[in-house]
Structure 1
Amino acid sequence: MERPQDDGLKWFGEGFDGFPKRLPGDCVEYSIRIIDSKLPDTAIREKLSNVERTASRLSRELLKDYIWQRDIFTLNLKREDNFWILHGRTDFGDSVADEWLIVYLLRELSRLIDNAWIRVYDTDGEFLLIEAANALPRWLNPEVAQNRVWIHGGKLLIIPLHQSLTSQGRTSPITKPLSMIEATCFICRSPRKLTHSPLIEEEAFYRIRNHPGQIKDNLHHAPLYIPRRLAYVVHKNPSHVSAAIEAFYLRDPIAVRPLNTKDKSTLNFPPEDFVKTVVGFNKVGYAQLYSQDFTPSKLWEEWLHETNDAVTRKRWEVAMKLTCGFEMLVEDPQNQDKRAVREIKLLLEDLGSGEEQLPCDKEVESWVVQEDNEDWLDIDLESLEDELQGRKGNGKRGAKGGFGDEATQDNLRKMVQRFEDFLNNDESDDMDEDNDNEDEEDQTDEDEDREVSFDEEEFVKLMTEMMGLPPALGGETHQDRADTSEDVDDDDDGDDAEDIRTLSELMGLELKAAEALNLNIDPSGRSARTSGVKCSGEPVTTGKVKRNQANEAVGNVFEASEDEEKSDIDIDFELANDLLKNLQGLSVVNVAAGNTNGLK
């Protein structure tokens, strides 16, 4: 049997040592090493213990009220490859903000601890390099990037390629990934040879440029009416809210079964004795809770029917979902080993035994927390389009308001700029060392396309050239043909010219009838590139409509002449679309607006 492509796995008979370890999805893994050849093993272990204490202090200072989506940031001392290291793994779920918060904490730790060298990666591998893809040198590709990226002294450092001596006496780079032992040996032996690029560093750390101030922006505080027992549990440990939301969000029929009771006494958090309190959420978690459709149980229906105001009803629905989430979390058999469930049950047992008392109304009122507005939940696609174009408020650059907060606006514009760079092929020349001539030809073609005039006669000329006619014949206008008609043979050449002229006129009539050549039909004065969005939320562009009309018109002409033309004609419809400038109608604005539900 033929062995599959080499993936680092040793097969039976080759010293099989288990299947390769792969990081679970939505996880970020990180490790901290003290690399100093002068320090003995015991001193390194002691210094790592100091790093662990420093990390705990830093977390308390920066993340006092922070609510993680799933796992928290944690470090554990362990032995790996005969070295002492601090290691951690965090499941951040759907909250990418948690992952970047960990990157920020690690960078701050590297500034506080001498000789601390830090690695961080996730399911995608070296995601810091992925973030800085546009600034990377040609050689730094995924095949060689493993274990080369380190955070030290607050900087992003990269281990360069090793050099080897060839038989001709020249040096050439060794393009292969590094093992962890090779990487640590290189750092220990030649720390000054590591590459530090401010441009790569800026791109890699772009998402944490506003930390620590931006940390609180990932939280949302909402005033809710919830049962007093639940208010007591949430106040004791606000982080349990995330576990309850996940239990609600990932519910199944078995998890929902305890809610279908008519006896309140069987519930841990029955819908009674409500108190108003402000509950803290991770923004991703709150959005999950807010947007989910959920049919309330009969015990909750009476409370929801009493609310006529839409805002008040929505808050009652969120409170109902949160309470049901806690009920499912505690009662579902598959959750019994979770730390949050054990802690919640201990709190409930203390209440049942009388060791703890439920808070009175005055005590609940003393839990004063500033509530936040929910404007960030409303996605106005027109405002989003303005933000992506660099405009704020009524299309005026620099005006107040706009879609999302400042960081969201900046990230959206950066995302669109990168997407446009990709579409326009504005990458640096050194990314394609073997295609210099092709790049020059592509640039020439782009310049020529920009200079094309889209009047009727020019369009006819380009279409005839595209159909494979000789340049002299295809480039002639109607007047040119009239002036030279006497010089054309009365046989085949004259018939061909007449057929082409008739075909071109038919195409022109079809395109005019479809208004595909009219680039200014929008009465609002907006260009085809930035036309609006349907009321239903479906993105649409004028340019796209014109392109479809053009395709239909061209198709009608050739369909009508199919019986007359027996020879095969190779028609490049994409080129025709480019000539009509309809490809630009697929604006980046509407592409981004159509994907707002996937934004984290």
Structure 2
Amino acid sequence: MPPTEEDLAWFRSTFHPVPKPRLPEDCVEYYLFVFNSNIDTGNDSEIRLRLREVQKFAAGLQEEWLKNYIWQRQGFGLEMVSEDGVTLLRGRTEYGDSVEDEWVIVWLLRRLTRKFEDLWVKVNDSDGEFLLIEAAGTLPEWLEPEVAENRVWIHRGNLAIIKPQKIKSMRQNDENISLQEARRIVLEDPKRLLKSTSIEEEAFYRLRNYPQQIAENMHNALVTIPRKIAFLLHQKPAYISSAIEAFYLRDPIALKPLQAQGTSSLTFQPEDLVTVSVRFPRVGFAQLRSQDFQVPATWRTSLPPKSDAKGYSQAELGMKLSCGFEMLLSDPQNQDRSAVREMKMLLEDLGTGDEKLPTSPDIAQWPRQEDDEKWLDISFEDLEGELGGKDKAQGKKRGDFGDKAAQENLQRIVAQFEQFLNDDTAGPDGAGLFDEDSDNTDEVDSDNEMENDGEDKEASFDEERFAKMMREMMGMPTDMEVGGSGSTPERSIPAGGSGRIQELDSDDEDDNGDIQLVMQRIEAELNESGALNLDPTPRKIGATKRAMRSKDSTKSKQLELSDESDDADEENDVDVNLARNLLESLKSQGGTSGPGGNLIGLMGLKTPREEQDEQE
């Protein structure tokens, strides 16, 4: 029996499609389509031929611009797939902590679309349409994340956004489009494509210094490492990313090989050390250099004295890198990684004699390059100057912190934030950056522009209204004044001092005395915990409490006696076991983060180091 209309209606009302799986964190995904009116959608062979040309050109771009580039986790790659009857190129890259890897991919995709005019690309990451996020301050209000799928494209190096067919107002748009609908609009209704210069500039702002920026994403440094590691890095410099990640994300299990007695069990023993030039991803170098890592016992005698600052710095960095390689190859969870399998095969070839370690004359022929590390240094005074808008025109000399790109990004963020704060048109949904009745996102209200040009508006604050609202929320009389101002205040709160409430009304002395006693006890407890103590000098809390409670000895005598005994107990009660367990927890962390270190940090203390005999 065929289904009736009622059955179909019930099925439509109860059927919920399987949601699209969410991308992993720190991952970018890209799709490349050929939309060409001269190629029939059913002619799959012709589309495949065109996509093969795209793949070949992409490989040439990587060979030209990314030959010496080291990806943080995964590289750029394209594979041909068929989805819903459509043949396309698809790629997915995990970029880890290196956000620049994601923008290198966007730059590659733009170059591809400039070469092939019928190539349309869409790209997103775990945050969704991140190009729209970059250009959030210039987007029309109808472009919400819920309706952005299949609307945002890269074509001929430009950003193209498909506008809705009909919208009731600039704030309302519930039209979702499919991939087939997007293709039809691109080929048959190009008037619906929104191409805005302001949106495109913001979306691709991070690419303003490309392709020169690609080389600046790398850092070269001299490090002292075992000859075996120098051999591996000379064979394939990209191995360094996996080693840095193993060091940076280490856990107690991964640290076990380094805690063994003796060096016989180590793959990379701290001997036969050589100083070579190593190329790092900038993020990886910062992660390696900034880590506070306890020197393993097997390496303590291999480091030069600290008096040799340069030699010790190179050896310390090489020690961390060597520990990363050791953990990478010994941890069972890494055995299926392609880089680990390749390195083990190379090491086996060394053992069988098929490969030989480089000699010192060979290493002397390798290029040596050492870049400046000033980009790691951040002057917080200069940073505050940037945030405060201080510049040379105001007589303030601005220093350099980080690199030039970091400074430009910070200045751009501050400028956009100030623009948001100074927007008088903001409503309950946030600041409205465009005219609601205008479809052209490049148009700007000239009156508002002239009004806001060069003006630094300050946020207005009505102290009297705020104080009244606070009194109403706390259930206090509305005629109460703060700071003792006013005609007949019931109570006054001093602007400074301990903040104790002074009772001025003498109609009910008993109740006032009770309230005052309670407030004194609260203040004493806050002083005892240090919440009100702005002076780091220790104070005798017990004496202060007894002095305050002497005002009403009849009501507080019993409490004073009990508190005095508690104070005496607290002065002599030290939980030795707790202290010992905390120190053991810190020791077991091996320099990594953990519960013991987190507790010490929350208390504002610096993690103590284990005293060791180091070669000076």
TM-score (norm 2): 0.68
SS of structure 1 residue aligned to 2:366: coil
Gaps of 5+ in 1: 1-9, 435-439, 469-492, 515-551, 567-600
- How far did residue 267 of structure 1 move? 2.0
SS of structure 2 residue aligned to 1:42: helix
For residues 383 and 403 of structure 1, the distance between their equivalents in structure 2, rounded to whole angstroms, comes to 7
Equivalent residues of 2:142, 2:170 under 8 A apart: no
Equivalent residues of 2:382, 2:398 under 8 A apart: no
SS of structure 2 residue aligned to 1:264: coil
For residues 423 and 504 of structure 1, the distance between their equivalents in structure 2, rounded to whole angstroms, comes to 38
Residue identity matched to 1:123: S
Question: Compared with structure 1, are the counterparts of its residues 565 and 341 closer, same or farther at alpha carbon in structure 2 (3 Å cutoff)?
Answer: farther
Q: Percent identity?
A: 46
- Corresponding residue to 1:90 among 68, 89, 93: 93
SS of structure 1 residue aligned to 2:303: helix
Question: Compared with structure 1, are the counterparts of its residues 390 and 16 closer, same or farther at alpha carbon in structure 2 (3 Å cutoff)?
Answer: closer
For residues 271 and 414 of structure 2, the distance between their equivalents in structure 1, rounded to whole angstroms, comes to 49
For residues 394 and 243 of structure 1, the distance between their equivalents in structure 2, rounded to whole angstroms, comes to 47
- How far did residue 175 of structure 1 move? 2.2
Equivalent residues of 1:161, 1:173 under 8 A apart: no
- Corresponding residue to 1:105 among 98, 101, 108: 108
Aligned counterpart, 1:81: 84
Equivalent residues of 1:393, 1:402 under 8 A apart: no
Q: How many residues align?
A: 462
Following superposition of structure 1 onto structure 2, how do residues 153-168 of structure 1 map, counting pairs within 5 Å? 153-163=156-166
For residues 238 and 395 of structure 1, the distance between their equivalents in structure 2, rounded to whole angstroms, comes to 47
Aligned counterpart, 1:44: 47
Equivalent residues of 1:163, 1:173 under 8 A apart: no
1:184-235 CA distances to partner (integer Å, 9 max, x unpaired)? 2322322353110000000000011111111122111110010111001011
SS of structure 2 residue aligned to 1:355: coil
SS of structure 1 residue aligned to 2:200: helix
Aligned counterpart, 2:28: 28
For residues 391 and 205 of structure 2, the distance between their equivalents in structure 1, rounded to whole angstroms, comes to 22
Equivalent residues of 1:143, 1:176 under 8 A apart: no
For residues 69 and 171 of structure 1, the distance between their equivalents in structure 2, rounded to whole angstroms, comes to 41
| C-alpha RMSD of the superposition | 3.7
1:482-511 CA distances to partner (integer Å, 9 max, x unpaired)? xxxxxxxxxxx9xxxx9824659978xx55
Aligned counterpart, 1:220: 219
Question: Compared with structure 1, are the counterparts of its residues 562 and 414 closer, same or farther at alpha carbon in structure 2 (3 Å cutoff)?
Answer: farther
For residues 178 and 403 of structure 1, the distance between their equivalents in structure 2, rounded to whole angstroms, comes to 46
Equivalent residues of 2:162, 2:192 under 8 A apart: yes
Aligned counterpart, 1:350: 349
Equivalent residues of 1:28, 1:121 under 8 A apart: yes
For residues 465 and 283 of structure 1, the distance between their equivalents in structure 2, rounded to whole angstroms, comes to 49
Equivalent residues of 2:143, 2:173 under 8 A apart: no
Equivalent residues of 2:51, 2:88 under 8 A apart: yes
Aligned counterpart, 1:146: 149
- Corresponding residue to 1:500 among 478, 481, 486: 486
For residues 292 and 451 of structure 1, the distance between their equivalents in structure 2, rounded to whole angstroms, comes to 41
- How far did residue 182 of structure 1 move? 2.2
Equivalent residues of 1:70, 1:92 under 8 A apart: yes
Residue identity matched to 1:161: P
Following superposition of structure 1 onto structure 2, how do residues 559-598 of structure 1 map, counting pairs within 5 Å? 559-560=501-502, 563=505
Deviates more, 1:424-433 or 1:46-55: 424-433
- How far did residue 297 of structure 1 move? 2.0
- How far did residue 404 of structure 1 move? 2.0
For residues 565 and 33 of structure 1, the distance between their equivalents in structure 2, rounded to whole angstroms, comes to 84
Aligned counterpart, 2:337: 338
Equivalent residues of 2:76, 2:92 under 8 A apart: yes
Following superposition of structure 1 onto structure 2, how do residues 436-475 of structure 1 map, counting pairs within 5 Å? 463=464, 467=468
Equivalent residues of 2:491, 2:503 under 8 A apart: no
For residues 292 and 499 of structure 1, the distance between their equivalents in structure 2, rounded to whole angstroms, comes to 55
Indicate whether 1:135 and 2:167 are aligned: no
Aligned counterpart, 1:420: 418
For residues 147 and 72 of structure 2, the distance between their equivalents in structure 1, rounded to whole angstroms, comes to 33
Deviates more, 1:363-372 or 1:70-79: 363-372
Question: Compared with structure 1, are the counterparts of its residues 17 and 194 closer, same or farther at alpha carbon in structure 2 (3 Å cutoff)?
Answer: closer
Residue identity matched to 2:360: D
Aligned counterpart, 1:328: 327
Indicate whether 1:176 and 2:175 are aligned: yes
Question: Compared with structure 1, are the counterparts of its residues 450 and 59 closer, same or farther at alpha carbon in structure 2 (3 Å cutoff)?
Answer: closer
Question: Compared with structure 1, are the counterparts of its residues 264 and 429 closer, same or farther at alpha carbon in structure 2 (3 Å cutoff)?
Answer: closer
- How far did residue 31 of structure 1 move? 0.8
Equivalent residues of 1:95, 1:284 under 8 A apart: yes
Question: Compared with structure 1, are the counterparts of its residues 504 and 416 closer, same or farther at alpha carbon in structure 2 (3 Å cutoff)?
Answer: farther
SS of structure 1 residue aligned to 2:76: coil
For residues 12 and 254 of structure 2, the distance between their equivalents in structure 1, rounded to whole angstroms, comes to 43
Question: Compared with structure 1, are the counterparts of its residues 246 and 394 closer, same or farther at alpha carbon in structure 2 (3 Å cutoff)?
Answer: farther
Indicate whether 1:67 and 2:70 are aligned: yes
- How far did residue 95 of structure 1 move? 0.9
Indicate whether 1:117 and 2:120 are aligned: yes
- How far did residue 256 of structure 1 move? 1.5
For residues 172 and 386 of structure 1, the distance between their equivalents in structure 2, rounded to whole angstroms, comes to 38
1:503-559 CA distances to partner (integer Å, 9 max, x unpaired)? 59978xx55xx5xxxxxxxxxxxxxxxxxxxxxxxxxxxxxxxxxxxxx79x66xx3
For residues 60 and 399 of structure 2, the distance between their equivalents in structure 1, rounded to whole angstroms, comes to 37
Indicate whether 1:407 and 2:405 are aligned: yes
1:108-128 CA distances to partner (integer Å, 9 max, x unpaired)? 111111200000001111110
1:67-91 CA distances to partner (integer Å, 9 max, x unpaired)? 1110101111111121111100010
Indicate whether 1:188 and 2:187 are aligned: yes
TM-score (norm 1): 0.70
Question: Compared with structure 1, are the counterparts of its residues 467 and 293 closer, same or farther at alpha carbon in structure 2 (3 Å cutoff)?
Answer: closer
- How far did residue 173 of structure 1 move? 7.9
SS of structure 1 residue aligned to 2:212: coil
For residues 485 and 17 of structure 2, the distance between their equivalents in structure 1, rounded to whole angstroms, comes to 75
Equivalent residues of 1:221, 1:281 under 8 A apart: yes
Question: Compared with structure 1, are the counterparts of its residues 376 and 45 closer, same or farther at alpha carbon in structure 2 (3 Å cutoff)?
Answer: same
Equivalent residues of 2:28, 2:102 under 8 A apart: yes
Deviates more, 1:358-367 or 1:115-124: 358-367
Equivalent residues of 2:164, 2:192 under 8 A apart: no
